[in-house]
Structure 1
Amino acid sequence: MKPTESELEILQVLWANGPSTVRQVNEQLSQAKEVGYTTTLKLMQIMHEKGLLSRTEEGRYHIYQALIGEAETQQHLLDRFVDTAFRGSAMKLVMQALGNSKATPQELAALQRLIDNLNPENN
């Protein structure tokens, strides 16, 4: 399931902080932009209905937790992005990214290690 941009922001808070109340999530979101509590509450209720979040009661509070993992969500979003924006070519994505920014020697070395590990001749 592909979360919306607003849902992804909520998921990122939950992935970073673990199970949280709506108020805790809203406070985190409000640090970057103005977000109303009721907007966050409604989004999290919808996400619960969609199966993106679990909700448990602790006293008078509802505690929400992400039901989808960060890595699997990132992989799914990346796969869709590569398919739609780069016609399925990861190479075009990497070339575009490297062409638009100056990679540090450390980043280039890490990329080289990744390439070496992916190369079947090295395995």
Structure 2
Amino acid sequence: MEIRSLTRAEAEIMKILWHLKKAFIKDVLAQMPEPKPAYTTVATFLKILEKKQIVSYNTYGNSHEFFPLISEEEYRRHEVDQLMDNYFDNSVANLVSFFVKEKGLEDKDLDELASFINNKNKKQ
């Protein structure tokens, strides 16, 4: 299945669904910060997410209980792949060097990254 990128509002709803595992619209609304959107707005976004094949639902009478079709990890992987492809020529070195230069990684961060790489290499 092809994963499509989410808008900010769609991602906010998905974060709630990933956390709750399954939810009715009222449950999603209850988790949203103030000012809360209208019930119909959340319903519209959930319909869009359904069309994108990111959520599905079970029907109980007139109510729909929504649940994610992809995990947060799968979506995160998709977004990083898109970022790497679109901005960093699929180069991890380019991505890391960007963060080192632009985000001012501290020595602690670099040490953690080096430790992760060393541990990964030892396991291979």
Which of structure 1's runs of 4+ aligned residues deviate more than 6 A?
A: none
How far does the alpha carbon of each residue in 1:71-97 deviate from its partner, in whole angstroms, 9 at most, with x for none?
Answer: 111011101111111122221111221
| 2:11 maps to which of 2, 8, 11 | 8
- TM-score, normalised to structure 2, is 0.80
Question: Which runs of no fewer than 5 residues in structure 2 stay unpaired?
Answer: none
Q: Secondary structure at the match of 1:3?
A: coil
Question: What letter corresponds to residue 74 of structure 1 in structure 2?
Answer: R
Distance in structure 2 (CA, Å) of the matches to 1:77 and 1:25: 23
Q: Secondary structure at the match of 2:58?
A: strand
Query: CA 1:101–1:58 in structure 2 vs 1: closer, same or farther (change >3 Å)?
Result: farther
**Worse overlay, 14-23 or 33-42:** 33-42
2:47 corresponds to:
45
1:20 corresponds to:
23
2:59 corresponds to:
57
Query: CA 1:110–1:102 in structure 2 vs 1: closer, same or farther (change >3 Å)?
Result: closer
Query: CA 1:116–1:32 in structure 2 vs 1: closer, same or farther (change >3 Å)?
Result: farther
Aligned-residue sequence identity (percent) comes to 26
Q: Secondary structure at the match of 2:22?
A: coil
Question: Which runs of no fewer than 5 residues in structure 1 stay unpaired?
Answer: none
Number of residue pairs the alignment of both structures matches: 120
How far does the alpha carbon of each residue in 1:26-68 deviate from its partner, in whole angstroms, 9 at most, with x for none?
Answer: 2323x16542221110110222233211211235432100001
Q: What is the RMSD of the two structures over their aligned residues, measured on CA atoms?
A: 2.3
Query: CA 1:61–1:111 in structure 2 vs 1: closer, same or farther (change >3 Å)?
Result: same
Query: CA 1:24–1:93 in structure 2 vs 1: closer, same or farther (change >3 Å)?
Result: same
- TM-score, normalised to structure 1, is 0.81
The CA deviation at 1:14 is 0.7
Query: CA 1:81–1:32 in structure 2 vs 1: closer, same or farther (change >3 Å)?
Result: farther
